[in-house]
Amino acid sequence: MSRVLMILTSHDQLGDTGRKTGFWLEEFASPYYVFRDAGHDITVASPKGGQPPIDPTSSLPQMQTDATRRFNGDEQAKAVLAATTPLSDVDVTTFDAVFYPGGHGPLWDLANDPKSHQIILDSDAVGRPLGLVCHAPGVLHAVKKHDGTPFVADRSVTGFTDGEEEAAGLTDVVPFLVEDALKDAGARYSKGPDGECYVVVDKTLVTGQNPASSAATAQRLLALLPH
């Protein structure tokens, strides 16, 4: 059994629109059950600890999947989510893999969180598999290596596309566009068709494009763990 750390956002404001945001439920629920059903031990953390905000749009009926319906009936999983560990209390050396679900929230807090940046750098340095899906790969653009170069420079990644953000109507609301920010940081960014599953693996770094990619990203992450 491996130990998997899942890191969620604590940010719940969608810019200055007055609307709520947070993490995208499908992008937590699908990977959570991929890890749990494979018998792994899961710890969920967030910058502030406690109950992280669920993006209300991801709870709408038309956004539900088998994994979110399973979560909504799973009191044990809800209890885990309600009591996330403060990120400052996390010792990443005790984990075998790290996974970041998306949603718009991470663009505001995790993208600028020094502890999150350190977890990413430390994990990459020791070959600890690191997975990020949808908007979460955007947090990588601000991570700098010890020599000051961007973490994602010359790394193959994907993430929420400019077209997908435009379809969500939030191009002018988000602090940065995931696709553009990753390219600007020197990443080898690629993408599949908007809304379809697309995953990129670069050594121990696994990134998924959108909610449709969440389960596959988690499965590719697990494939990197020692068997």
d(CA 52, CA 206): 23
Q: What is the pLDDT of residues 124-179, one digit of tens each?
A: 999 999 999 999 999 999 999 999 999 999 999 999 999 999 999 999 999 999 99
Torsion of CA 112, 181, 198, 2, to 10 degrees: -30
**pLDDT in the model for residue 29:** 98
Inform me whether the pLDDT recorded for 3 exceeds 80.
yes
Q: What is the pLDDT of residues 20-41, one digit of tens each?
A: 999 999 999 999 999 999 999 9
DSSP state of 127: T
| Residues 189/207, Cβ–Cβ less than 8 Å | no
Average pLDDT, whole number, for the chain? 97
DSSP H or E segment with residue 133: strand 130-133
Q: What is the mean pLDDT of residues 206-213?
A: 98
**pLDDT in the model for residue 66:** 97
**pLDDT in the model for residue 227:** 72
**Distance, C-alpha 136 to centroid of its chain:** 4
**pLDDT in the model for residue 198:** 98
Domain ranges of the chain: 3-223
Find all residues with CB under 8 Å of 20, minimum gap 6, and list them.
12, 13, 14, 53, 55, 56
Q: How many Cα atoms are found within 13 Å in the side-chain-facing hemisphere of 184?
A: 12
Q: How many Cα atoms are found within 13 Å in the side-chain-facing hemisphere of 61?
A: 0
Inform me whether the pLDDT recorded for 42 exceeds 90.
yes
Q: What are phi and psi of 135, to 5 degrees?
A: -80, -25
**pLDDT in the model for residue 98:** 98
**pLDDT in the model for residue 226:** 81
Domain boundaries 3-223, corresponding CATH code: 3.40.50.880
Q: What is the pLDDT of residues 47-76, one digit of tens each?
A: 999 999 999 999 999 999 999 999 999 999
Token reading at 51: 């109950």
d(CA 20, CA 9): 13
Confidence of residue 122 (pLDDT cuts 50, 70, 90): very high
Q: What are phi and psi of 175, to 5 degrees?
A: -70, -25
Token reading at 40: 């792994």
